[in-house]
Amino acid sequence: MKREVVTCVKCLMDSTDPDIHFNSGGICNYCLEAEETLPKYRYTDEQIGANIGRLLQHIKANRKGKYDCLIGISGGVDSSYVAHLAYKWKLTPLVVHFDNGWNSELAVSNINKILDKTGFDLQTYVIDWEEFKDLQRSFIKASVVDIEMLTDHAIVASMYRLAKENNIKCILSGTNYATEHGLPSAWVWQKVDLKNIQHIHKLFGRQPLKTFPTIGIYKSFLYKILHKLDFLEPLNIINYKKLEAMEVLEKEYGWRYYGGKHYESWFTKFYQAYILPQKFNIDKRKSHLSALIRNEEITLEQAREELAKPLYTVEDLTQEKEFILKKLEFTPEEFEEIMQAAPKRHDEYETSIHLRKKLSSLKEKFNF
Amino acid sequence: MLKARVIPCLLLKGGGGLVKTKKFGSPTYIGDPINAVKIYNEKEVDELMFLDITASKEQRGPNFSFLKDIATECFIPLCYGGGITKTDEIRKLLRIGIEKVSLNSVNFTNPGLISEAVKLFGSSTIVGSMDVKMNLFRKLRVFNSKTRDTTKLDPIEYALSLESRGAGEILLNAVDRDGMLAGYDYELIKKITDAVKVPVIACGGASKLEDIERVVKYSGASAAAAGSLFVYQGGNKGVLINYPNYQQLEEILN
């Protein structure tokens, strides 16, 4: 029997998320939680000034080498805006771009425009495509939901490495509560779960991992404690609004929007607009748009209109699917078979998540 | 219409990954060629050149299946060079969608291949390619990248001989300039363009748009090819594919 889908009265989240629950007024837990948390991220102008002052002071005090801080840039809104802030605040960051072989033209031209104007130094981490392809194939074959954790994992690992190499103590991250809160935990997996990556690849991969940058749980703890690496989140201290940020970037840099959260990568677009909805019945736009509703950037009506738009036009899908399958070396039949296979949970494979929980509780206990 | 063509020159290693060299050595991995092609497509590039730098050394022909993947993804006229020794291979390359082929190492062992190929496929399809390097006596000589020998051959005479055998274009690569970001070898290129009538594609050393302007206006190159300039951003050599827009090219070329 098919259960009816229940949707929150204030946002787009619905009961296709297995963990959602509603109060008696039909409001979902994400809205309720945001109602409590968002005010903590809202500041007066004076407070923002003080926040920025403290942040810059901290960055300057921790500068050891040539650079104040490290900024990872993808060409998307959040990371581009962090680079813009660094420019406005007259910081000297090392900008790092992670190239996993799926960059769109828009992504690289956005990064170029920002670097042209700011004059910041760029370093790229180019992943070995043959190896990364094999890894992505493994995850697709494993039928687990978070294929993108591979890129996220490698980004974090390479950022740690580059920060250490360049003697940088502060990493400015684009992570922010305002536009990213309320992502259902069933839609993603822990990025740091190296054991999960390794086991899945052992089962489905064709070649061993040699150059893929990894960071295990112990190593990440060590980095944070021994090298005193700080992840700073400037977007969390300035009343961040995505639409305003886009306007600034367009006006000041000639930056261009790419039509969807994380669509700066060909694969991410295909993953979010095809694999997730088709195989996992997940439409990430629901969560992204709902966050913007709660951040008072768009109305529920506008969000509904946006959600009603097709994820792909038929023509785009045909073309992009062909390109992506060719790049990943899947035949259409092979890929179709995988799409039909039942989704699997990440913890049906080996995982280090339990260890992580233990370490976290240890961390709390000893307060480091 | 622009007065000269501006061509990203991309190097393949082992028939697969993209690399960028310095003085024809120390290849640095810079990513997946197919994705590079997809980005250049949207940047409205005039022409794209792929050179497989290890094919001749490894004594193998072109990697056809891989080149087919590239060619089907590429909406830009494509020139390929690397490991070609037979007219059959050229035919196969043209069939999979490559527009032009560049012959280099084979010219040392089978100089007749150019004329043979021109007869079969027309001169506009055949690029005669030559590498030039300074020898111990500081004289510029033709370089054989397969054996890594600096020959005794004079570049001007060599260029004339490529032309006389029917090559529709000459690709001139200055080994000592490759990847050094210090400008083209303007004088060498000028000597060659003065000597031959066919178009010359200059390669090696471009670091900014002014270099392209100079190699076209001063040295008389019909096309400027560049690697580093279009794959790196800034002095740190961050890998970031880029290409000037039409307006920028118009400003420097017309």
Enter the ipTM: 0.89
Q: Which two tokens stand for residue B184?
A: 């083209």
The predicted-structure confidence for A143-190, as pLDDT tens digits, reads as follows 999 999 999 999 999 999 999 999 999 999 999 999 999 999 999 999
A320 CB near a chain B CB, below 8 Å? no
Test B34 with A109 for CB contact under 8 angstroms.
no
Burial A60-69 (b: 16+ CB within 10 A, else e): eebbeeebbb
- In degrees, rounded to 5, the angle at the alpha carbon of residue B237 between the alpha carbons of residues A90 and B19 is 155
Catalytic residue among B46, B52, B69, B131: B131
* Three-class secondary structure assignment of chain B: CCCCEEEEEEEECCCCCEEEEECCEEEEEEECHHHHHHHHHHCCCCCEEEEECCCCCCCCCCCHHHHHHHHHHCCCCEEEECCCCCHHHHHHHHHCCCCEEEECCHHHHCCHHHHHHHHHHCHHHEEEEEEEEECCCCCEEEEECCCCEECCCCHHHHHHHHHHCCCCEEEEEEHHHCCCCCCCCHHHHHHHHHHCCCCEEEECCCCCHHHHHHHHHCCCCCEEEECHHHHEECCCCEECCCCCCHHHHHHHHC
Can you give the pTM of this predicted structure? 0.92
Name the band, by pLDDT with cuts 50, 70 and 90, for residue A81.
very high
pLDDT in tens, B35-48: 999 999 999 898 99
List, for residues B152-201, the tens digit of each pLDDT value. 999 999 999 999 999 999 999 999 999 999 999 999 999 999 999 999 99
Say whether A126 and B34 touch across the interface (CB within 8 A).
Answer: no
Give, in degrees to the nearest 5, the angle at Cα B36 between B13 and A334: 85
**In this complex, do A101 and B32 lie within 8 Å of one another by their Cβ atoms?**
yes
C-alpha span between B103 and B128 (Å, rounded): 5
Which residue would you say has higher pLDDT here, A364 or B207?
A: B207
For chain B, which residues lie within 8 Å of any Cβ of chain A, measuring from their own Cβ? 16-17, 29-32, 34-35, 38-39, 41-43, 69, 73, 233-236, 238-242
Question: For the segment B5-19, what is each residue's pLDDT rounded down to a tens digit?
Answer: 999 999 999 867 999
* Predicted local confidence at residue A368, as pLDDT: 46
Q: What is the pLDDT of residue A51?
A: 98
Phi-psi region of B141 (alpha: psi -120 to 50; beta: other; left: phi over 0): beta
Mean pLDDT in residue range B237-247: 94
Q: Is the pLDDT of residue B231 over 90?
A: yes
Residue among A97, A101, A104 whose CB faces B240 most closely: A97
**Annotation says B69 is catalytic:** no
Nearest to B39 among A108, A123, A327 (CB): A108
pLDDT score of A364 more than 80: no
pLDDT tens digits for range A163-175: 999 999 999 999 9
Nearest CA in chain A to B231: A108
Burial class for B183, CB neighbours closer than 10 Å (0-12, 13-18, 19+): middle
| Single-letter residue type at A122 | L
CB atoms within 10 A of CB A308: 7
Q: Which residues of A touch B240 (CB under 8 A)?
A: 97, 108, 111-112, 115, 122, 124
Among the listed residues B18, B72, B6, B11, the one whose alpha carbon sits nearest the alpha carbon of residue B45: B6
Asked whether the beta carbons of A224 and A363 are under 8 A apart, the reply is: no
Probe site for chain A from B10, B69, B239 (most A CB atoms < 10 A): B239
pLDDT class of B50 with cuts at 50, 70, 90: very high
Token pair 């002071």 is found at: A57
What residues contact A1, with CB distance under 8 A and at least 6 apart? Answer: none
